[in-house]
Amino acid sequence: MNFFLYNWKATTQFSDFKIFFFISNEKKIFFLAPMGTASFFGASEASAKKDIVDSGTDFRKMQALVAPYFSLNFVNLPIKIKNMTSREKVAQLRTKMAENNIDAFIVYSADPHMSEYLPKEWQERSWLSGFTGSAGFVVITKENAGLWTDGRYFVQAPIELKDSGIDLFKDGMDGTPNYIDWIISEIPENGTVAVNAIATSHANWELLKEKLEANNRKVVDFPLLKDVWTDRNFNSVKNPIFAHPVERAGKSVMDKFVDIRNKMEEMDASVHIISSLDDVAWTLNLRGSDVQSNPVFLAYLILTKNDAKLFVDLEKLDIDSRKQMDDAWVKMMPYEMFYEELKTIKNEKVLVSPNSNQSIFEALKENNTFIKAPVPGNLMKAIKNETELEGFRTVMQRDGVAMVKFLYWLTHTAGNESLTEYSIGEKLRGFRAEGKNFVGESFGSIVGYGENGAIMHYSAKNEGSKEVTNADTILVDSGGQYLEGTTDITRTFALGTASEEFKTDCTLALKGLIQLSMVKFPKGTRGVQLDAFARMALWKEGKDYNHGTGHGVGSFMNVHEGPQNIRKDMNMQQLIPGMVLSNEPGFYYDYHYGIRHENLIAVRELETTDYGTFYDFETLTVCPFDRKVLNLDLLTQPEKDWLNNYHIWCKEKLENDLEGEIKTWFLEQVKPL
């Protein structure tokens, strides 16, 4: 017996409420109405075709009520659920806005820890809009709705927003209004803008507050989505938290505490709040898996001059992680007690990042003085010690072996067997899983065949994934999490014959990677000062790419890490030896093809001259480039020398771990140009 579950909203003269009803394949209808409303539908007139029961708002109770009527175990029924569309969700949200005199509601892509990659229960923007990109936010007003996102998603967003009633605003492009200015133009004077403060950074809150109040509007904390997205289960993941031993971390928890407390003393701070998940995990030498592909766990950390308190789901801590916390004199407390603990902090100088959520500031503001500054551990985490750098080198070799096996398989299988973008990503995961200490992917693989390569952060689904043959080019951006480190690599390959136009664009992008790899720069240089090296060849042809050139990468940690980056936007953080970044120029011809080349690089000290100290980059990634997609005539001799030397290095690193036909193929790939 099949059931189709529908969710309707009914309106009476008294109130609005939801009605759940099931239609079986025997044409029998069963209504489930909220508590106290069954009589409105005539429960006394229930017949064999219509039964009405009060169920409250507990969906489990609804399940229990349905099962006896059909003498079946409800849990085992093949239920097909008709989910609300984005348009229906927005309509329900607007109803809640009207009930509460809210003129605009902002849904940021955030959780209470201001994470980039979110636990499922905090993917509010994605749930509401249907847009699944990693960056962007939605604004809903009474009449209009907009999504603001960056250039990585200008192709993807219109596809996912189709029929949602939400307009795309291309952030950073000429003619795109600032979202706060747009809100001011949309809502009346004395209007109210609502956000969920626990999922809004203090920096965003203050900016909103300042601009809105200057224009006779206001911002309030009102988490309206809780009344629309009613079936989410918070903090439901129970994956274990485990120790990341000092043999891999390179520094003990106690030593990290000393470093952080020294910074606190310099800043005259008596209390330090750490809410970012990767900062908590790094500080405590712990890892988890509460967020897909990110080895972190839901937690907060409070440090004082003498104490450390970890707020976490205590059931997740294994024996080794508990011992590690005990050895470092860390008091372990339930995750839910964090905000109650904040209320006990009085008359302190509290160091907290402005990127922490607004609810933290609200809990502390009456009794304390704020020192708003970046978390000291954030920069410490970014500067890898020699143990961590050696871990990167180790896993890059292991990852390179997996990539070579994968690329051999892909180039010899496409056109001979049925493949899809999704199945290719799964196959790549399998090759990595053969490697020692593989934990999982560092992000969902981006496999874009043909025109899908132009969708910068394309995510192929199991159903409807594009078939891959040997007739086009393919972009594969992927990475792995290993106990010793994190990888992130992109290669663009020809499975068929690449056009001359494609080869030209592919070579221009590779020239950018090579130029950035070869650059020498003085101490004190910032990423923005190096970004042009990666773009210059494209710029000369009037071309560019709408994403950053480089992001920081963690050590068995998040694949995206700050504070350093290499991009057009101003970032005052200097590049420091030990920092690991990506080097990933690309080019995207919308609806035709996409190109990206990516290696990981580490900042290192090179030399000291009469003019100061100079740095360069150590290339970490070990995997050949496909020469079939290149126009070698466009490469200068120094660029050819770099590519030849890189392939010689790849040969030295990987040859002994390959055999048979794979090794023969690999040696062809690394032959001199």
3-state SS string for 35-51: CCCHHHHCHHHCCCCEE
Q: Which residues pair with 243 in a beta bridge?
A: 286
| 219-257 pLDDT per residue, tens | 999 999 998 998 888 777 788 999 999 999 999 999 999
What number is the average pLDDT over the span 172-181?
A: 92
pLDDT above 70 covers a percentage of the chain that reads 88
Q: In what order do the strands lie in the sheet with 438-441?
A: 438-441, 480-482, 485-486
Q: Going by C-beta distance under 8 Å and a sequence separation of 6 or more, which residues neighbour residue 426? A: none
* Higher per-residue pLDDT: 134 or 207: 207
For tokens 């794979």, what's the residue?
A: 662
Q: Is the pLDDT of residue 93 over 60?
A: yes
Tokens standing for 225? 């989505």
Are 111 and 197 in contact, with CB atoms under 8 Å apart? no
Domains of the chain plus CATH, in order, are 86-228 (3.40.350.10), 242-382 (3.40.350.10), 386-665 (3.90.230.10)
pLDDT at 231: 83
CA angle, 194 as apex, 164 and 135 as ends, to 5°?
Answer: 50
What number is the average pLDDT over the span 284-303?
A: 96
pLDDT at 109: 93
What is the enclosing helix (H) or strand (E) of 646? Answer: helix 637-654
Q: Which residues pair with 313 in a beta bridge?
A: none
| pLDDT band, residue 629 (cuts 50/70/90) | very high
pLDDT at 74: 36
Task: Please state the pTM of the whole predicted model.
Answer: 0.85
What number is the average pLDDT over the span 171-180?
A: 92
Q: Is the pLDDT of residue 361 over 60?
A: yes
Tell which residue, 673, 601, 619, has the closest CA to residue 643: 673
| pLDDT band, residue 83 (cuts 50/70/90) | confident
Q: Which has the minimum average pLDDT: 37-51, 317-331, 547-561, 602-616?
A: 37-51
Rg, C-alpha atoms of the chain? 27
C-alpha dihedral (38, 39, 44, 45), degrees to nearest 10? -80
What number is the average pLDDT over the span 516-526?
A: 98
Instruction: Let me know if 419 is exposed, middle or buried by CB neighbors in 10 A (0-12, 13-18, 19+).
Output: buried
| pLDDT band, residue 470 (cuts 50/70/90) | very high
- Distance, CA of 378 to CA of 362 (rounded, Å): 23
In whole numbers, what is the pLDDT of the chain averaged over residues? 89
